[in-house]
């Protein structure tokens, strides 16, 4: 781990995301890359993938899960990073989902026509929804405008702060975050192969167009801390 857990936690609290660098090593990456190529190609169609964002292909359901990739959600180094961030026992709450963003349109260009969303579990959110953490495990290095995960820093505070506002609630629940009061500009995240970005469930975020010639390969993960009141 390249930074103290408390620094990651503080960054996650303040900005709504934090990046753990070099969690997976070269041999992990080399093992995984051909599996991405095997299961997701530019021609892979629904229902195996959802391709509602053009060049972005995300494996659609547990039915199509690929254990050789999903298992990275429970790789010891990955679990160590989750543990550092949560500081308590946790569960992997759904199968990790591989996503490939090929060259092309996939959510807009940051700073131009990009628009973000929140991963609502329910609207309005339940008391525990904000405790989920979402991860993006990078298997390729993201170059500028290479389809990187794009987010609005600190937007989880704005979202949380407006949950009691009926007018803004309606906008948030219909994913209308354009010119939303209080939001900063979006930022496209850079990352190296092996890095993991964790983000808050109320963070405004989204995919972005891949204007490079390198396909972006990531695994989306999802964890939930164990609570004293957690059901068995
Ligand atoms: O990483 C990406 O491609 C976008 C992820 C995203 O928007 C989501 O999982 O809700």
Does residue 99's CB lie within 6 angstroms of at least one atom of ligand 1? yes
Residue 74 placed within a domain? yes
Q: Is the pLDDT of residue 53 over 70?
A: no
The reported pTM is 0.95
Among 108, 135, 114, 134, which residue's Cα sits nearest to residue 186?
114
In the chain, how many domains are there? 1
Q: How far, in Å, from the CA of 127 to the mean position of ligand 1? A: 23
| Structural domain harbouring 184 | 5-224
Who has greater pLDDT, 11 or 46? 11
230 inside domain: no
Cβ–Cβ under 8 Å, residues 96 and 36: no
Any domain includes 175: yes
216 close to ligand 1 (CB < 6 Angstrom): no
Give a yes or no: residue 229 inside a domain: no
Let me know: does 204 contact 183? Beta carbons within 8 Å: yes
Smallest CA-to-CA distance from 19 within 35, 10, 8 is with 8
Q: Cβ(149) to ligand 1 under 6 A?
A: yes
Atom 7 (ligand 1) nearest CA: 206
Q: 99 C-alpha to center of ligand 1: Å?
A: 9
Instruction: Note whether residue 182 is domain-resident.
Output: yes
Answer whether residue 231 is part of any domain.
no
Statement: residue 1 has pLDDT above 60 = no
What is the rounded distance in angstroms from the CA atom of residue 6 to the CA atom of residue 72? 24
Binding site membership of 205 for ligand 1 (Cβ less than 6 Å): yes
Q: Which atom of ligand 1 is nearest to the CA of 208?
A: 3
Q: Give the residue, by CA position, lying nearest to ligand 1 atom 8.
A: 206
Q: Is 97 helix (H, G, I), strand (E, B) or coil?
A: strand
CATH of the domain at 125: 2.60.120.620
Label residue 61 by pLDDT band (50, 70, 90).
confident
Q: Which pLDDT does position 231 carry in this prediction?
A: 59
Residue 182: pLDDT band with limits 50, 70, 90: very high
220 lines ligand 1 (CB under 6 A): yes
Q: CA angle 32-3-188, nearest 5°? A: 60
Task: State the residue for tokens 């609570």.
Answer: 227
Nearest CA residue ID for atom 6, ligand 1:
206
Mean pLDDT of 205-225: 97
Q: Is residue 119 part of a domain?
A: yes
Q: Please tell me the predicted confidence (pLDDT) of residue 155.
A: 98
Residue 216, pLDDT score: 98
Which atom of ligand 1 is found nearest the CA of 149? 1
| pLDDT at position 38 over 90 | yes
Per-residue pLDDT, 148 = 97
Q: How confident is the model at residue 228 (pLDDT cuts 50, 70, 90)?
A: confident
């Amino acid at each position: 781990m390249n930074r103290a857990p408390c620094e990651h936690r503080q960054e996650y609290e303040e900005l709504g995301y934090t990046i753990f660098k070099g969690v997976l090593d070269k041999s992990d990456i080399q093992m995984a890359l051909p599996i991405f190529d095997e299961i997701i190609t530019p021609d892979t169609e629904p229902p195996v993938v959802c391709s509602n964002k053009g060049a972005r292909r995300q494996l659609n359901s547990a039915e199509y899960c690929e254990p050789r990739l999903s298992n990275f959600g429970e790789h010891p180094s990955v679990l160590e990073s989750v543990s550092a961030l949560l500081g308590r026992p946790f569960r992997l709450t759904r199968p990790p989902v591989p996503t490939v963003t090929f060259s092309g349109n996939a959510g807009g260009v940051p700073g131009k026509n990009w628009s973000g969303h929140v991963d609502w579990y329910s609207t309005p959110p339940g008391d525990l929804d904000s405790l989920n953490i979402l991860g993006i495990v990078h298997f390729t290095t993201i170059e500028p405008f290479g389809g990187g995960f794009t987010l609005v820093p600190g937007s989880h505070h704005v979202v949380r702060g407006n949950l009691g506002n009926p007018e803004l609630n309606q906008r948030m629940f219909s994913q209308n975050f354009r010119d939303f009061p209080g939001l900063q500009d979006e930022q496209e995240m850079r990352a190296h192969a092996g890095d993991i970005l964790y983000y808050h469930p109320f963070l405004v975020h989204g995919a972005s167009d891949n204007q490079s010639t390198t396909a972006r390969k990531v695994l989306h993960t999802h964890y939930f801390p164990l609570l004293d009141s957690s059901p068995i």
